[in-house]
Amino acid sequence: MPPFHRFNRLRRRILGLVLTALAMLCVPGTQSLPILATLDASIHDSRTRLSAAQPDDRVLIVDIDEASMARIGRWPWDRSRVGELAAALVDKGGARVVGIDMVFAEPQREAGEDAAFARLLSGRPIVLGYYFTRAADARSGVVAAGGPLERTTGTLPAPVLRAQALTGLDLGVTAWSGFGANLALLQARAAGAGFINPLLDPDATVRALPLLAEFRGELYESFAVAVLRQWLGSASLRLDADHLSLQGARGSLALPLSDSLTALVPYAGRVADERGPARRFTYLSAADVLQGRVDWSRFKDRVVLLGTSAPGLADLRATPIHLALPGVEIHATLIAAALASITAPADATPLLRSRSAVSVGLGVVAALVAGSLLAIGLPAAGALGALALSVVVALSVWGFAGIAWANGGVVMPVAAALVLVVVLLMLNLVVGYVVEGRARRSVAALFGEYLSPALVERMVRDPASFALGRSESRELTILFVDIRGFTRIAESMPPEHLREYIDAFLSAMTDVVHRYGGTVDKYIGDAVMAFWGAPLEDPQHADHAVAAALAMLEAVSRLNRGLEANRMPMMRVGIGVNTGHVQVGDMGSRSRRTYTAIGDAVNLAARFEALTKHYDCSIIVGEPTVASAVGHRFVALGRTRIEGRAEPVLVYAPASLSSADTPAGSGRAASLPTQTEDRAHAGSGIGV
């Protein structure tokens, strides 16, 4: 490969590796690119929607819907009525846990309502919700235990861990500076409480729920964790590097952790009608429960969540599977998957997935492998090869991420790797097109003057093999042809007629050279220099050159018929042909360059052409050509001395010049004519 193209490919490979390094930095967010986060979120949503959505009866939802408010009354209801509803689910239905996805932060105006609600909460496994305000990302070891508070209402439950539990763990946590919690009376009587804040992505979509949150140096549990702890029997918590473990009297489970101590909500399926409700869980109207129009056995040992799907109560959230999913169903989705994981076989597909340091590591590896393969492979591939390689790499990355998703429960960020594939492909296609286009134009510009259009087209398809600015040693066959007695002819013709005369000759000779696959080196007045074997390889260069010499005589004969008709001087030509190793390539000065051949074999071919007038033979061929041109037969003309050479040179003529029916094939010379041999040895040869 020519140095220029090697250098160009090297530069593309280095640039590709640099882009690969940048992509690797983008995976963990070292270099933040919002478009990559958006693309990763879209990929996650696509996989989520492609997952099978199975109905789940571990969690039931009692819905304060529009129909309930039409029958019971507009919201807010009396708190005693809400307490009656929750108590009935436990006492009549046998629910193991009731979670109320609501906050009761202000006292109710009607006297006794809060006290009645508190009495109904007391002694029953009922979990309340509350919310934090003003979230900000914080890392372990830097969560603040002090600082100004935002507005607070109600009373928080007891924290579950100290913030020091994060020490030594590479875990982030959402930190808050205010809250809206339940009345102290209600909080004291409830079995537990958890915050209901979702984690909104930049596109306002809920894909994860925080499991723990930090407030003034303490860690508090989420609504889902509080419900799960109650279901397991007042379970204890243990925070590990990648799991939040719950251990209770009824069993244990481990929730895989994602960024900032969150859990990815295991949505599944695609909602056919975004304007309609999503119904993966059974929804029961709150009015039906209050009025006893339900099968109470349905609640036995179930988790029952009390929430609302009424648009007017503003608890609808954008999710990957629905534009307005009730917030209570988001909690239900996470809780149901956690409960299912307790009894799931060890080899089952993970129900809960994580986006953690392991995910980031896999994403970095994917970017590294994909980028390295393409950075090295694309510069050497053509357009179709580059496209095929890029598609294979992209599908491999996608497939690897799918395996991690399905078998490892890992949500791998692949946007950086996929974007890198596209960028490297476009870079190499564009740069390759520009560079190769420039190389093709250079080849066409250089060789268009020397070769036939068909040969130039062949070279343009692979310009890298015919680089400019270099030369090489190669065996060629060189041919010189010129018009005998041209000086006398030029003196007898007007300039305009002479131009037509010489143009006709040069055109005819050039056509013959091109027809037999040769290269026109240059025009020297009335002479033409051509060679075979470069720039395109030609194993039969000697045969083709001899055939071209014979065809030139025929072309001159045709020209003469036209010249005779126009009463112009007839042409006689002399042709010299020789084979040998020469230096061929792009040569010249800084200001002017040309593709040419130089060497002793070239000089001999020129001398042979000059000898044709003295031997009265139109074509003289050197001995190396005779040895190589196995498709022709030759007659030895004798030995002649060449200026600058100590030994005489044996010269030949094609046998077909004297006998048109001489069969071709042996490549051996016929016997020497005695008279010619004697004359040569007597010193009658002509030196030039």
Q: Which residues of 92-105 are buried (b: 16+ CB within 10 A; e: fewer)?
A: ebebbbbbbbbbbb
Greatest C-alpha distance within the chain: 146
In sequence order, which residues have a C-beta less than 8 Å from that of residue 173 and are 6 or more positions away? 138, 139, 140, 143, 163, 166, 212, 213, 214, 219, 260, 261
Indicate whether 678 pLDDT > 80.
no
pLDDT at 547: 96
Q: What is the pLDDT of residues 160-217, one digit of tens each?
A: 998 888 887 777 888 898 999 999 999 999 999 999 999 888 888 999 999 999 998 8
Q: What is the pLDDT of residues 275-324, one digit of tens each?
A: 555 567 899 999 999 999 999 999 999 999 999 988 877 788 889 888 88
Nearest-CA neighbor of 656 among 615, 627, 618?
618
User: What is the average per-residue pLDDT within 233-262?
Assistant: 90
Task: Give the SS3 label for residue 213.
Answer: strand
pLDDT at 272: 53
User: What is the average per-residue pLDDT within 658-687?
Assistant: 35
Per the CB < 8 A criterion, the answer to whether 476 and 580 are in contact is: yes
- Per-residue DSSP letter, 341: H
Indicate whether 687 pLDDT > 50.
no
Torsion of CA 3, 6, 12, 14, to 10 degrees: -100
Strand partners, 282: 60
Where is pLDDT greater, at 663 or 579? 579
Amino acid sitting at position 94: G
**Residue 30's pLDDT band (boundaries 50, 70, 90)?**
low
User: What is the average per-residue pLDDT within 528-538?
Assistant: 90
**Over pLDDT 90: what percentage of the chain?**
49
- Alpha-carbon distance 199 to 196, whole Å? 10
User: What is the average per-residue pLDDT within 640-659?
Assistant: 84
- Alpha-carbon distance 687 to 438, whole Å? 47
Nearest-CA neighbor of 243 among 77, 409, 429?
409
Tokens matching residue 522: 């240059």
Q: What is the pLDDT of residues 93-118, one digit of tens each?
A: 999 999 999 999 999 888 889 999 99
Torsion of CA 67, 68, 69, 71, to 10 degrees: 90
Per the CB < 8 A criterion, the answer to whether 256 and 356 are in contact is: yes
Tokens matching residue 240: 């590990």
pLDDT at 138: 41
Nearest-CA neighbor of 19 among 11, 351, 568?
11
pLDDT at 406: 83
- Alpha-carbon distance 102 to 128, whole Å? 7
Lowest mean pLDDT among 307-311, 330-334, 662-666: 662-666
pLDDT at 682: 28
Tally the C-alpha atoms within 13 A of residue 251's C-alpha that lie toward its C-beta. Answer: 11
Q: How far is CA 664 from CA 194, 219, 555, 618, 660, in A?
A: 102, 100, 21, 19, 10
- Alpha-carbon distance 542 to 539, whole Å? 8
Tokens matching residue 684: 């009658």
Question: Does 535 sit behind a cis peptide bond, omega within 30 degrees of 0 on the bond before it?
Answer: yes
- Alpha-carbon distance 337 to 340, whole Å? 5
pLDDT at 29: 65
Q: What is the pLDDT of residues 475-526, one digit of tens each?
A: 999 999 999 989 889 888 888 889 999 999 999 999 999 899 998 888 898 9
The residue behind tokens 């409700």 is: 277
Indicate whether 87 pLDDT > 50.
yes
Q: What is the pLDDT of residues 353-412, one digit of tens each?
A: 888 888 888 999 999 999 999 999 888 887 888 899 999 999 999 999 989 888 888 899
| Average predicted confidence (pLDDT) for the chain | 83
**Residue 686's pLDDT band (boundaries 50, 70, 90)?**
very low
pLDDT at 546: 97
- Around Cβ 394, how many Cβ atoms within 10 Å? 19
pLDDT at 454: 53
Per the CB < 8 A criterion, the answer to whether 306 and 101 are in contact is: yes
- Alpha-carbon distance 420 to 171, whole Å? 28
The residue behind tokens 């549990």 is: 221
- Per-residue DSSP letter, 571: P
Structural domains in the chain, CATH included, are 3-32+356-442 (no CATH), 54-343 (no CATH), 469-684 (3.30.70.1230)
User: What is the average per-residue pLDDT within 623-633?
Assistant: 94
Phi and psi (nearest 5°) for 420? -60, -40
